[in-house]
Chains A and B, each alone.
Chain A
Amino acid sequence: MNEEYYLKFPSVFKEKLRSGEIQFPPDTKVQYESRIAYRGIEREEADNTPVNRSDLRSYAELGKKRAPRGGRYDANSPNYYGCSLFLNRAMVENRMKLPRAGWKLANICVKEEGGPIQLNEDTQHLCWWLYESYNEFEASIIK
């Protein structure tokens, strides 16, 4: 990965990559086969707006300044700049049972054209570092 490659990412992330403050984890995959993953997206009951880039913004992109507690999540973790999806829909449904979800469940085809990923088969968690301009989602809202 080089500086030109880093320019593809949202500004909040690319500056950290360029300065060397943040690095992709060693198990990051840039080339991979497309696969379906699930994510909750914020939609009102009657709102059927297709999945778009703003549904897949990381906490860093959302500009949330206060660091969450628990695990290794902080502004120095590359995962803070990625977007969470799950291979198993039940993992997302667990989130939807917790406060302030107000979401619908979407299945989204994760493609290498959208950016690199880190996949943990044990936790079913997929972190997707989306390129800033990527907005061609093959996705559907399933409930």
Chain B
Amino acid sequence: MNNDVCFIIDNNELYFEKCLVDYDIPIFYVCKDSKGNRYIVLCYDTDEMSYLVAKSNNSEIVQMLEKKITMKQIFEKSKNIWKIYTEDDLESDKVEGVEFESINSEDLPVEKSFFEIASKDLKEYYDFIKCESEGYKLKKFIKAQPQIIWYMKNIQEYNIVTDSLIYNYSVKKKTEKNRTLFWSELSYKQVQKLSLEWENDCCGSELSVTRPKVTHREVLCCE
């Protein structure tokens, strides 16, 4: 989690997670608290640095990124919205709980406006949030996944068994002897045979089937 605390609401610190609209300064972005709750933040007054903060969730953020709901509707759906009038330090901010209906329409996103994913960076964030919303608990895009790996040394071919369906991700794993395996954009469907490349092949000519190995690997979510 980014350590940059943006706001404190009822003693709950909100950390900056991802900027969706950056225009000289961050205008529209996502924050997260220590419990994993996500918040949509909108700087509606860039002169006074006043913000609307709406408690949201992965599913709604995904819906907005998929243009199933508008940028305004993500606020409308929220049960907890605050207006924050910032001061020079976080503790002095004026935090005011508000109802959606009471918010001046000029302070909200334009009616019927959909967010456009227009960069690789935002696409990656969408993938990340979507993974989480579908139940993959990825931490900073990376999480250890238990997998059973049968492997044969030095023939660059692996059978991998996963206990769940995980789509398209790349894996980077440091193995013993400081070798690193790289592969990317693989579709895992319970059992897959994969071709791998050793970064540094130092296995010599040894060719043997080793015992099944249960390992935890870091899984990097990607396209």
- Whether chain B is bound by chain A comes out as yes
Interface of A toward B, CB cutoff 8 Å: 40, 58-59, 64, 66-73, 80, 83-84, 88, 90-100, 120-125
Q: Which of B4, B22, B44, B88 sits near A99, CB closer than 8 Å? A: B44
Q: A59-B24, A84-B23 are in contact. Are A122 and B116 (CB under 8 A)?
A: no
The contact sample of 23 A-B pairs, CB cut-off 8 A, is A58-B24, A64-B46, A68-B43, A69-B16, A69-B41, A69-B86, A70-B4, A70-B6, A70-B16, A70-B19, A70-B25, A71-B4, A71-B16, A71-B26, A84-B23, A90-B118, A94-B118, A98-B28, A98-B109, A99-B109, A99-B110, A121-B120, A123-B121
Task: Tell me the smallest distance from the CB of A131 to a CB of chain B, in Å.
Answer: 18
Taken together as a complex, chains A and B put the C-alpha atoms of A91 and B23 apart, in Å, by 9
Check if A97 sits within 8 Å of B120, measured CB to CB.
Answer: no
CA distance A140 to B150 in the complex (A): 61
A-contacting 9-mer, from B47-55, B178-186, B188-196? B47-55
Residues 105-124 of B at the A interface (beta carbon under 8 Å): 106-110, 113-116, 118-122, 124
Known: A97-B115, A123-B122. 19 other contacts (CB 8 A): A40-B23, A58-B24, A59-B25, A69-B6, A69-B41, A69-B51, A70-B4, A70-B31, A71-B16, A92-B23, A94-B21, A97-B71, A98-B21, A98-B42, A98-B44, A99-B107, A99-B108, A99-B110, A124-B121
**Chain B: minimal CB distance from A71 (Å):** 5
Known: A68-B49, A69-B6. A98 touches B27 (CB 8 A): yes
Instruction: Report chain B residues within 8 Å CB of A121.
Output: 120
Bound CA span A97–B31, Å: 20
State the main secondary structure of chain B at its contact with A: mixed
| Complex Cα spacing A123 to B22, Å | 9
Q: With a CB–CB cut-off of 8 A, which chain B residues contact A88?
A: 118-119
Distance (whole angstroms) from the CB of A91 to the closest CB of chain B:
5
The smallest C-beta distance from B157 to any residue of chain A, in angstroms, reads 33
Within 8 Å CB of A96, what residues of B?
A: 110
Q: Given the complex of chains A and B, what is the CA–CA distance between A73 and B106 in angstroms? A: 25
**Which residue on A lies nearest to B106, using beta carbons?**
A99
Q: Within 8 Å CB of A93, what residues of B?
A: 116
Chain B residue contacts of A122, Cβ below 8 A = 119-121, 124
Determine the distance from Cα of A93 to Cα of B27 in the docked complex, in whole angstroms. Answer: 13
Interface residues of B in 92-137 (CB under 8 A from A): 106-110, 113-116, 118-122, 124
Q: Shortest distance in angstroms between B124's beta carbon and chain A's nearest beta carbon?
A: 8
Most chain A CB within 10 A, of B29, B48, B49, is at: B49
Please name all residues of chain B whose beta carbon is closer than 8 Å to the beta carbon of A94 when the two chains form the complex. 20-21, 28, 115-116, 118
Q: How far is the CA of A96 from the CA of B108 in the complex (A)?
A: 12
On whether A70 and B45 interact (CB within 8 A), knowing A40-B23, A84-B24, A123-B22, the answer reads no
- Which residue of B is nearest A66, CB measured? B49
Nearest chain A CB to B197 CB, angstrom units: 25
In angstroms, Cα B43 to Cα A88, docked, is: 22
- In the bound complex, what is the Cα–Cα distance between A67 and B43 (angstroms)? 12
